[in-house]
Amino acid sequence: MKLPEAFITKYTRLLGDSAPAFFASFDEPVYSGFRLNPLREQPTDLPLTDPVPYTHWGYYGKVSGRSLPHQSGAVYSQEPSAMFVGEVAQPQPGERVLDLCASPGGKSTHLSSFLQNQGLLVSNEIMPKRAKVLAENLERFGVANALILNETPEKIAKTFPVFFDKVLVDAPCSGEGMFRKDPDA
């Protein structure tokens, strides 16, 4: 894959001797994935033969966003690498969790699977349009213990000082992760 020179320069500086292996990874196959929703009845018509080894509910494969399992909230399409974040956070039922940069909702829905509709999940998205998508995805997933905000981190910190058991920040990115999905990006 032909990567932009500025990208190569940046990551060569950041990664040093590990940079060649990182650049080579862009030529590796791209894997799609989805997670089952433990809050919903499990679909019987999905191929559940290739689990993502480091997740509770993740599988390799594709699920159409127009399919019944997706539309009913029984599954959520999410890249396997993105599933790692929820697994590391792994909140316990009853905890208070903040997902600061939550849209479109993949990580929030994953956190909700661990919370089992107990405790509090505060899912924030600073962009109003994206906050609506977040709300739709959490509703479709059946999350009953979520508070959806459209606020700045500063205002949340002021309103909820020393409140959360866990805070997840998957900060908005540059879009460089799209290179593998779409080489023209």
Residues 54 and 109 placed together within one structural domain of the fold: yes
pLDDT at 184: 62
The per-residue pLDDT string of the chain (185 residues; one tens digit each, 9 = 90 and over) reads: 788 899 899 999 999 999 999 999 888 888 899 999 999 998 888 888 899 999 999 999 999 989 999 999 999 999 998 999 999 999 999 999 999 999 999 999 999 999 999 999 999 999 999 999 999 999 999 999 999 999 999 999 999 999 999 999 987 655 566 666 666 65
Is 56 within a domain? yes
Residues 19 and 110 both lie in one domain: no
Which of 111, 65, 121 shows the shortest CA–CA distance to 89? 111
28: which 2 tokens?
A: 């590796």
Q: Please check whether residues 56 and 119 belong to one and the same domain.
A: yes
Tell me, yes or no, whether 117 lies in a domain.
yes
Does 82 reside within a domain?
A: yes
- Residue 164: burial class (beta carbons within 10 Å; 0-12, 13-18, 19+): middle
